[in-house]
Amino acid sequence: MTDYLARLNSEQRDAVQTLDGPLLVLAGAGTGKTRVLTTRFAHILLSGRASPGQVLAVTFTNKAAREMRERVSAILGRPVEGLWLGTFHALCARMLRRHAGLAGLSANFTILDSDDQLRLLRQIMDAERLDTKRWAPPALMAVIQRWKDRGLTPGRITASDDTDFAAGRARVLYAAYQERLRALNAADFGDLLLHMTDILRSHNDVLAQYHRMFRYVLVDEYQDTNLVQYLWLRLLAQGHRNICCVGDDDQSIYSWRGAEVENILRFEKDFEGAKIIRLEANYRSTAPILAAASGLIAHNESRLGKTLRPGRDDAQTGEAVTVVGLWDSDEEARMVGERVEALRRDGHPLGEMAILVRAGFQTRAFEERLILIGVPYRVIGGLRFYERQEIRDAVAYMRATLQPADDLAFERIVNVPRRGVGEAALRALHETARAEGLPLAAAAQNLIDAGGLRGRVKESMGELLRGFARWREMADRDGHVVATATMLDESGYMEMWKQDKSPEAPGRLDNLKELVRALSEFETLAGFLDHVSLVMENDEDAAGDRVSLMTLHAAKGLEFDTVFLPGWEEGVFPNQRALDEGGVKSLEEERRLAYVGLTRARRRAIVSHAANRRIYANWQTSIPSRFIDELPSEHVTQEGSAALARDARIATATSFPSQFPLVARRVRTVEVWEQPVRPARSEAIPVGARVFHQKFGYGTVRAAEDDRLDIAFDKAGEKRVLDRFVERA
């Protein structure tokens, strides 16, 4: 047997050697699905069944594509050229360039980013005289994107696909948008797949050409394909029918982006005679990690069900999953930092450690801790906290407020949100500034005074300048936290993102709140701004040994010796917004995310939760995530002082408000300090009781466990809360 086949178990080998006909490898995390796909690729080439250009291989990220290319080359013992290997988007872009004419484009079409897309949609809505205050362009963008995910061109949309956006006019707007894109010789991301699928559907000669070309089709992370990707695959695979998809329904985590796990179930139907291979040995994680992950995912009802057994030689010697309860979020960051340092001292490379969070804003606390203790890190699949657009904007506001001569900051935000400051106004500003030797802000004031600006620009610019003065004064009087929160509010910056209906907007708002939280750790705004500059400086070359920080979504397919999973608290994870929007279905997707997180770990998984989190300048109590309760206790070691923290909180809760005055109350956007309404351990509230909660209002108790209640609130939906925060109604 050749070397590369000998490195597989018999089921894996079967999956590599079953080359004819459709094949689905359905298997749990870490069972070697990706390894099978890579080996299969090499095997096809080495056995002479196809040349590199005759295999179509789809991966979920560009990074995964690079890795696959390297591994195939390693098995072959030489670099391979001319592969059709990449993400759906990359592969479709390449194809579409060859057939652009059939989509009404020319081969050099531009691919628009989401900013361009929005600008275009706004123009179209304006032209149709739609009220873009009432019907937000990002919302339309999302509707169109969902249609594209489902392979629906404007002509294919039926009444049942229609939405009530803009009183049913979305379809017309969509058609106009597609027209406009064509006229501009441009395509958005969704178009790459949509156009290609459409071309393959309606041009038999093109389809036949690809059928001749691609003898084999390979697909990784199949559970996260959406409908249009599926259609595209099915069309291309119909020729030779040699399609091999690998996936795990328990790791389907992109339904919010249109992924349909049903594509797995459909596979057998669409590809008659498909062979299904299951892999059951997990080679990644130690036995306790695997058992903990399996115990957790068993709580999901809608799943195909799989067996997973430890396959590592040393699997049985592993440590249990550690669950650490901490007093507050600062302590949590410190704990993670200390463990990273300890492991490093023991000779563990940083590259083998990862911190996986539910939401992007959570990276900040860990980034700052790592910078403080001098541990290099990288953020995978996203930007470092202070590099994010909304954070840079907010920091620019702070700089412009504090330093009236900071022209760079002023220019960055003068028209964000839109204040009608166009190029002409900017040019006038610059000219005045240069002529009078003044900073831009001062020049703006002079221009206004001299009547050089008119109408809306004059109004909004004047308002902004008065704002700067007011916020500056406020920082001196009320403190920089209040001043900044007020500034983000009054400048309309927060509002801009609230109105933005794109999928990224909620994350940006969370980042902004996190920024204000960060501010409260500094005495002055100037101190904070210095800190930000230092943090931004701290960027040695990207190579080298570093800890990885990323969201759970970005961690799919990756593995590390040590994985930190912080923030396992109700509301954070499972994420409250997801629960509010999607109920049980979303809860199951959150649980799959937790499963993905745990199964990234080879040797060590450290889950943690904090009893207190700061929201703006206030503290909010949290209770441990239900996912922690769902981990089988025999595979978990509890550490830290979760229970202790809970009792201590009751004792000290009332002292927090004075320590952190209710400054943020004055700001419309902040959460209000919550205080327990009853002391701990008073009489229990029974299931079925009507209750009142300070923040969520009236509701009915659905379940009770220790001091936690699952309550169906009349207005706020299902929530899990601590019983001392509710009163019987």
Counting contacts by CB under 5 A, is residue 300 touching Mg ion? no
Q: Are 36 and 15 in contact (CB under 8 A)?
A: yes
What's the CA gap between 207 and 189, in Å, rounded? 22
The partner in contact with residue 26, picked from Mg ion, ligand ATP, none with C-beta cut-offs of 5 to 8 angstroms by kind, is: none
Q: Per DSSP, which regions of 220-320 are E strands? A: 243-247, 275-279, 281-282, 309-310
What's the CA gap between 553 and 546, in Å, rounded? 20
Q: Is 487 or 601 the residue whose CB approaches ligand ATP more closely? A: 601
Site residues, ligand ATP (CB under 6 A): 8-9, 12, 29-35, 248, 251, 283-284, 557, 559, 599
What's the CA gap between 598 and 552, in Å, rounded? 10
Q: For residue 684, give Cα distances in angstroms to 22, 549, 691, 713.
A: 58, 42, 12, 18
Helix (H, G, I), strand (E, B) or coil at 216: strand
**Order of strands, sheet of 708-713, starting from the edge strand that comes earlier in the sequence:** 717-722, 708-713, 697-705, 690-693, 726-728
| Strand pairing report for 690-693 and 618-621 | unpaired
What's the CA gap between 11 and 425, in Å, rounded? 69
Q: Are 461 and 419 in contact (CB under 8 A)?
A: yes
Name which of residues 555 to 584 contact Mg ion (CB under 5 A).
Answer: 557
The count of residues interacting with Mg ion (CB under 5 A) is 3
Element spanning 357, H or E: strand 353-357
- 585 belongs to the catalytic site: no
Q: Is 512 or 596 the residue whose CB approaches ligand ATP more closely? A: 596
Q: How far is the CB of 471 from ligand ATP (least distance, A)?
A: 48
- Hey, which residues does 145 pair with through a beta bridge? none
Residue with the CB atom nearest Mg ion in the bound state: 34
Query: Which region among 30-38, 49-57, 102-110, 362-370 touches Mg ion (by CB under 5 A)?
Result: 30-38
The partner in contact with residue 8, picked from ligand ATP, Mg ion, none with C-beta cut-offs of 5 to 8 angstroms by kind, is: ligand ATP
Q: How far is the CB of 455 from Mg ion (least distance, A)?
A: 58
Q: Is 186 or 380 the residue whose CB approaches Mg ion more closely? A: 380
Q: Is 8 or 579 the residue whose CB approaches ligand ATP more closely? A: 8
The partner in contact with residue 562, picked from ligand ATP, Mg ion, none with C-beta cut-offs of 5 to 8 angstroms by kind, is: none
- 600 belongs to the catalytic site: yes
Helix (H, G, I), strand (E, B) or coil at 714: coil
The partner in contact with residue 188, picked from Mg ion, ligand ATP, none with C-beta cut-offs of 5 to 8 angstroms by kind, is: none
What's the CA gap between 367 and 511, in Å, rounded? 14
Long-range contacts of 392-396 (CB under 8 A, 24+ apart): 393/493, 394/484, 394/488, 394/493, 394/512, 394/515, 395/515, 395/529, 395/532
Q: How far is the CB of 321 from ligand ATP (least distance, A)?
A: 17
- Hey, which residues does 549 pair with through a beta bridge? 355, 379
Helix (H, G, I), strand (E, B) or coil at 180: helix
Q: Is 9 or 538 the residue whose CB approaches ligand ATP more closely? A: 9
The partner in contact with residue 566, picked from Mg ion, ligand ATP, none with C-beta cut-offs of 5 to 8 angstroms by kind, is: none
The partner in contact with residue 646, picked from Mg ion, ligand ATP, none with C-beta cut-offs of 5 to 8 angstroms by kind, is: none
Q: How far is the CB of 556 from Mg ion (least distance, A)?
A: 8
The partner in contact with residue 229, picked from Mg ion, ligand ATP, none with C-beta cut-offs of 5 to 8 angstroms by kind, is: none
Q: Are 597 and 553 in contact (CB under 8 A)?
A: no
- 234 belongs to the catalytic site: no
The partner in contact with residue 724, picked from Mg ion, ligand ATP, none with C-beta cut-offs of 5 to 8 angstroms by kind, is: none
Using alpha carbons only, give the angle 629, 724, 607 rounded to the nearest 5 degrees: 25
Q: Hey, what are 505's tokens?
A: 């907007």
Q: How far is the CB of 251 from ligand ATP (least distance, A)?
A: 6
Q: How far is the CB of 60 from ligand ATP (least distance, A)?
A: 9
What's the CA gap between 188 and 178, in Å, rounded? 10
The partner in contact with residue 284, picked from Mg ion, ligand ATP, none with C-beta cut-offs of 5 to 8 angstroms by kind, is: ligand ATP
Q: Is 34 or 432 the residue whose CB approaches ligand ATP more closely? A: 34
Contacts of 458 (CB under 8 A, 6+ apart): 448
* Residue carrying structure tokens 């990234």: 600
Q: Say which of 369, 600, 649, 720 is annotated catalytic.
A: 600
Q: Is 290 or 474 the residue whose CB approaches Mg ion more closely? A: 290
Q: How far is the CB of 220 from Mg ion (least distance, A)?
A: 6
- H-type alpha helices, 385-439: 389-402, 407-413, 423-436
| Strand pairing report for 690-693 and 697-705 | antiparallel
- Hey, which residues does 23 pair with through a beta bridge? 244, 275
Q: Say which of 221, 500, 559, 588 is annotated catalytic.
A: 221
Contacts of 456 (CB under 8 A, 6+ apart): 419, 420
Query: Which region among 357-365, 552-560, 574-582, 620-628 touches Mg ion (by CB under 5 A)?
Result: 552-560
Q: How far is the CB of 244 from ligand ATP (least distance, A)?
A: 13
Give Cα 142 to chain centroid, integer Å: 16
- 341 belongs to the catalytic site: no
- 501 belongs to the catalytic site: no
Q: Say which of 11, 12, 13, 33 is annotated catalytic.
A: 33
Counting contacts by CB under 5 A, is residue 61 touching Mg ion? no
Counting contacts by CB under 5 A, is residue 34 touching Mg ion? yes
The amino acid at 718: E
Q: Are 337 and 556 in contact (CB under 8 A)?
A: no
Q: Is 22 or 557 the residue whose CB approaches Mg ion more closely? A: 557
Q: Is 311 or 567 the residue whose CB approaches ligand ATP more closely? A: 311
The partner in contact with residue 32, picked from Mg ion, ligand ATP, none with C-beta cut-offs of 5 to 8 angstroms by kind, is: ligand ATP
Q: Is 504 or 561 the residue whose CB approaches ligand ATP more closely? A: 561
- 34 belongs to the catalytic site: yes
Q: Say which of 220, 224, 248, 570 is annotated catalytic.
A: 220
Q: How far is the CB of 283 from ligand ATP (least distance, A)?
A: 3
Q: How far is the CB of 32 from ligand ATP (least distance, A)?
A: 3
The amino acid at 387: E
The partner in contact with residue 35, picked from ligand ATP, Mg ion, none with C-beta cut-offs of 5 to 8 angstroms by kind, is: ligand ATP
Q: How far is the CB of 282 from ligand ATP (least distance, A)?
A: 8
| 366 closest CA partner among 618, 567, 639, 590 | 567
Counting contacts by CB under 5 A, is residue 39 touching Mg ion? no
Q: Say which of 34, 432, 551, 562 is annotated catalytic.
A: 34
Q: Is 298 or 615 the residue whose CB approaches ligand ATP more closely? A: 298
Counting contacts by CB under 5 A, is residue 325 touching Mg ion? no
Name which of residues 503 to 532 contact Mg ion (CB under 5 A).
Answer: none
Residue with the CB atom nearest ligand ATP in the bound state: 32
Q: For residue 194, give Cα distances in angstroms to 154, 179, 259.
A: 11, 14, 15
C-beta neighbour count of 684 within 10 angstroms: 12
> Which residues of this protein are in contact with Mg ion, per CB under 5 A?
33-34, 557
Point out the residues that are catalytic. Answer: 33-34, 220-221, 251, 600
